[in-house]
Amino acid sequence: MTDLSYKRYSFTTGFSPLKIITDKFNFPQDGQGNFIIPANDILVKIHYASLNPVDSKLHHTSYLQPFSNHGIGKDFSGEVIAVGGNITKFKVGDLVQGFHPGVLTNDGTFSEYLLVKTNMWFLNTEIAKIPSNITLKEAAAWPLVLGTAMLMIEGLSIKDKKVLLLGGATSVGRYLTQLLRIEGAGEIVVSCSPRSQELVSELGATRIVNYRENVLNQVLDNVRDKPFDYIFDCWGGTELFSNLDTILTKKGTYHTIVGDIPGSDLYSFLVGTAKSYLRTFVSYSGLLGYSYSYILLGLNRPGWIERAQEYIGSGDVKVFIDKEYPFEELPEAIKFIESGQAQGKLIIKVKQD
C-alpha cells in the first residue's frame, strides 16, 4: 500500500474556521506504479476550484458530526491520475471538469486531490472531459451555476413564454438569463441593481426591474397586459406571494433556489429552506393554484454536465470569472463573496506551478 498525502481545506462545525489539513489516500500500486483504486472511482488531481455562495452557507450551518473533518467546495477542474477497473469513459491524463455534491462525504474540491465516486446511489459527482474551446480555469467556473440554471427550466416549454427572473445579476441568474434567451422566451423581465442593468440586458433581458425600489409595484406594472407564465427566483423572499394570483398565470410555475429568507446565517438557511420545502409539498399535493419547487442541483438526472457543455461549446453562453486566488487565500475569497461585490465566479488555483 502507498500513501498519497495531500492538502485540503477542512472544518469541524459551523463555529470552527476553515483550515488546511494534510490528509492521505492509501492505495496499492501495480507493477507500473499506477494506483489501484476502487472499481467505480476516478482519482483527480485538482487544478482549479471555484467558490459558490452555497459553500460558505454549508460551512456556517454544519453542526453535525463535530469530530469529522468536513470538506468544502463543489466545482472543479483537473487531471485524471487513476481510474477504477469499471471506468471506460476516462483514462489517466484526461483533463476533466465536474460538480461534486459533497453530501454524505467529508471531502470537497478545495483539495489537491478528489476521489470521484461514480456509483453513489443518491448523489453522483458529475464529471466530463473538458471541451476544447475552454481553459481549465473556465472549466471550473460554471458547473454548479449553469447546472442549476438548467435545472430551473428543466421540463418547461420556454419558447414565447413571459418570464420573470428575480436576481438576474447573481451567478445563477446570469446563466439563466442566457438560457431563457437561447430557448426563445418571449419576454424576459429581470430584477437587478442599476449597476447591472446594462449587463443583464446584453445577456437577454427585455425589461428591467430595479430591485432597490419597490419590486412588487414594478412587477405589477409589468402584468397589466399579461401575467407571467414562469417566475424564477435567484434572490429570495416572499414579497410577491400575496399577489401571485395576479402576477402568475393560473397553474403557472414558481421555481426558487434561495427560499423564503435570503442570507447565509443559520436561521435564514434552516427556516427559509424549511418553509420552501413545505410550500413545495403543498404544491405537489395540488393545494396551490400554481406549481412551486425549491431547486437543488444534484437531485436531477445524471449526465447533465454533457448537456451543459453543449451550451458552452456553442459559444452562446458567456462564462463569468471575477478574480483568481491562490489556494492559501480561500478564506479571503470567502469574505469577498459574502460581501456581495463579486461580479462573476471566484476561482481558487489549487495546483502549484
Q: Which CATH number is 145-294 given?
A: 3.40.50.720
Among 2-16, 32-46, 205-219, where is mean pLDDT lowest?
Answer: 2-16
Question: Which 3 state secondary structure label does DSSP give 65?
Answer: coil
CB distance 348 to 333 below 8 Å: yes
Closest CA to 135 of 303, 324, 331: 324
**Could you tell me how many residues make up the chain?**
353
Q: Where are the domains of the chain?
A: 2-141+319-349, 145-294
Q: Kindly state the DSSP code that residue 302 receives in the 8-state scheme.
A: T
Express each pLDDT in 117-149 by its tens digit. Answer: 888 766 668 999 998 889 999 999 999 999 999
Closest CA to 277 of 303, 301, 299: 299
- Residue 214 CA to residue 212 CA, distance in Å, equals 7
Residue 239 has pLDDT above 80, yes or no: yes
Query: Given phi > 0 = left and psi -120 to 50 = alpha, else beta, which region is 117?
Result: beta
Q: Identify which has the larger pLDDT, 278 or 113.
A: 113
Express each pLDDT in 270-315 by its tens digit. Answer: 777 788 888 888 888 888 889 999 887 765 567 789 999 999 988 8
Residue 99 has pLDDT above 60, yes or no: yes
Q: Which CATH number is 2-141+319-349 given?
A: 3.90.180.10
**Other residues' Cβ atoms within 10 Å of the Cβ of residue 122:** 9
The answer to pTM > 0.95 is no
Q: Kindly state the DSSP code that residue 11 receives in the 8-state scheme.
A: B
Cell numbers standing for residue 177:
438569463
State how beta strands 291-294 and 248-256 pair: parallel
Closest CA to 114 of 56, 75, 68: 75
State how beta strands 187-192 and 162-166 pair: parallel
* Predicted local distance difference test score (pLDDT) of residue 352: 78
